Chain A
Amino acid sequence: MKPVLKPGRERAAVVAPDATPLEVRGLTAAYREKPVLWDVSFHVPEGQLVGIIGPNGAGKTTLLKVVMGLMQPAAGRVRVFGQSFQKARRYVGYVPQRGSVDWDFPTDALDVVQMGLYGKLGWFRRPGKKERRVAEECLEKVGMGAFAHRQISQLSGGQQQRVFLARALAQDARLYLMDEPFAGVDYTTERAIVGLLRELKAQGRTVVAVHHDLGTAAEYFDRIVILNRHLIAEGPVGRALTRENLEAAYGGSGAFIGDR
């Protein structure tokens, strides 16, 4: 077998089949002197759909960034399948916020999805026929097969989100980290994403998604992590998603949450 240079794979580890997908312990993170996360601890069991909710500025995106090593924590540690993220990254797929990239970039949907395979391809190797086929299958799975060659700026917001999901599917990960996958999407896309999450769960994969819509959180997720810089609550939806916890996180009367 020809040795292939893989980015960040030098010290890749084989993880135990029953390892906990994500464990966060005593995590504290700050932008300059401004603390964003304070002593946050929780763990995510395998095969669960986990929603991270909390008000704006609660540190949800920061949490994902720290988990993926894109930002250094001030204290605490993160374990992904019992390893450091650097060693376990090939088991992790990532869906950034749709607004984090410039969709005017000159490329098409199929090319974006193939980017999900760049980690496996490693340095210098270009995607070929096989990668193209995988990418086409992933686009089909999110109902975007007909848009493979569409310039990405010509896709609707929901379609762009589905392209990002297809790219994550191409990563064929065991743990998916998603930043606001439901933000600003149309009804069709929302249903498509929900279906996809359930399919991933049925395959035994784990999803951790930052979510902003309290009205749907209980329907879409098995477990909830409520953040507001501190960890407010975490656990199965029935236990964690209570009125008291939401009031603690969002403050005020919590009337907008509805009776739940």
Chain B
Amino acid sequence: MFEVLSAVLFDYTVRNIALGSAILGVAGGVLGCFAVLRRQSLLGDALAHATLPGICVVFMLTQTRVSLWLLLGAGLSAWLGALAILAVVRGTRIKQDAALGIVLSVFFGAGVVLLTLIQQTGAAGQSGIDRFLFGQAASLIRSDVITMGALAGAALLVVGVFYKEFKLLTFDGPFAASLGFPVRALDVLLTSLIVVAVIVGIQAVGVILMAAMLITPAAAARQWTDRLPAMILISALFGAGSGVAGALVSALGPNLPTGPLIVLIATGVFLLSLLFGASRGLLWSQLRERRNRAAALSGGGA
């Protein structure tokens, strides 16, 4: 067992995979905090699904395997999805949840149709385009990791620069607007950064499960702290940890899919946080409640 583990840890390919998964975990973890706090968890899901037609179209046009181009297509397509959601919400009486559902299914449906077309041409074998469905961290090469790192780094930099503004927008948008901050532009910027986090992750986790890497680490981190900076940090750590752990476990055995493993590990972290989280874990609040009740019954306390 130990030899397997050390072989895995010092293997060049595995290090690539682990590094890539860590990067996706950090990007998803940080941007996911804002998505979750703004109650836009499902926006991430819709945008992730909306990347698929973009990937397919870029591949059909160029036959490229370079992930940068495929990811640009993915980003553009997710962006169009975001615009479509906005247009539906603003232009009709349809509410946000229905708009998200419509965009998610229409874009994903179109993506699957294109994917089938690609597979019929027989190019799919070499293209590996279907890896974007469930993710295939094992296929990550050095240049992929560099692309992911650059995208994630840029996104995190922007979050750092606009941290105060994003926090205000997330907590109290109308107040931010009354102070003169251009909330619509900030909203577009934050949504675009979520798109970036999504395209950083889809190679390893896949478009179907990517939303989990936005939602789960952030929701888990919330159980441990009542401060936004700490929540962001913990969420990034949980995301990175789940990414690395998932990548390593999948490297241990043949045919263990990385993406789903990463998501399962992140979910495990979330469940543990829900139970034992220091700030609002179920265990502590149960204990507190019991203690309070005992104090009240014995006539103590106040």
Contacts A107-B228, A118-B164, A124-B164: A86 and B171 contacting too (C-beta < 8 A)? no
- Contact assessment for A124 and B161 in the assembled complex, using a CB-CB cutoff below 8 Å: yes
Asked if A204 is at the interface of the complex by the 8 Å CB criterion, the answer is: no
Give B149-182 as 1s and 0s: 1 = Cβ < 8 Å from A's Cβ atoms.
0000000000001111101101110111111111
Asked if B37 is at the interface of the complex by the 8 Å CB criterion, the answer is: yes
Select the stretch in B49-57, B219-227, B250-258, B286-294 that faces chain A: B219-227
- Contact assessment for A106 and B228 in the assembled complex, using a CB-CB cutoff below 8 Å: yes
Per the bound structure, the CA–CA distance linking A178 and B263 in Å amounts to 45
Select the stretch in A6-14, A180-188, A207-215 that faces chain B: A6-14
Select the stretch in A36-44, A45-53, A93-101, A238-246 that faces chain B: A93-101
Asked if B231 is at the interface of the complex by the 8 Å CB criterion, the answer is: yes
In the assembled complex, how far is the CB of residue A195 from the closest CB belonging to chain B, in whole angstroms? 23
Asked if A20 is at the interface of the complex by the 8 Å CB criterion, the answer is: no
Give B12-53 as 1s and 0s: 1 = Cβ < 8 Å from A's Cβ atoms.
000000000000000000000000010100000000000000
**Total A-B contacts with CB atoms under 8 angstroms apart:** 80
Give A100-116 as 1s and 0s: 1 = Cβ < 8 Å from B's Cβ atoms.
11100111100010010
Q: How many residues of A contact B (CB 8 A)?
A: 33
Per the bound structure, the CA–CA distance linking A106 and B279 in Å amounts to 11
- Contact assessment for A7 and B181 in the assembled complex, using a CB-CB cutoff below 8 Å: yes
Instruction: List, in ascending order, chain A residues with CB within 8 A of B171's CB.
Output: 101-102, 105, 107, 112, 115
- Contact assessment for B227 and A106 in the assembled complex, using a CB-CB cutoff below 8 Å: yes
Contacts A105-B37, A124-B164, A126-B164: A119 and B179 contacting too (C-beta < 8 A)? yes
Per the bound structure, the CA–CA distance linking A125 and B37 in Å amounts to 23
With beta carbons under 8 angstroms apart, the residue of B175, B177, B230 that contacts A115 is B175
Per the bound structure, the CA–CA distance linking A126 and B231 in Å amounts to 19
21 contacts between A and B (CB under 8 A): A7-B181, A8-B179, A69-B177, A70-B174, A70-B178, A89-B180, A96-B175, A101-B171, A102-B37, A102-B39, A102-B171, A105-B170, A105-B228, A106-B227, A107-B167, A115-B175, A118-B168, A118-B179, A124-B161, A124-B164, A126-B163
Closest 8 CB pairs of A and B: A8-B180, A119-B179, A7-B180, A151-B226, A94-B178, A7-B181, A101-B172, A106-B228
Other than the known A8-B180, A121-B164, what 4 A-B pairs have Cβ atoms closer than 8 Å?
Answer: A7-B182, A65-B174, A94-B175, A118-B168
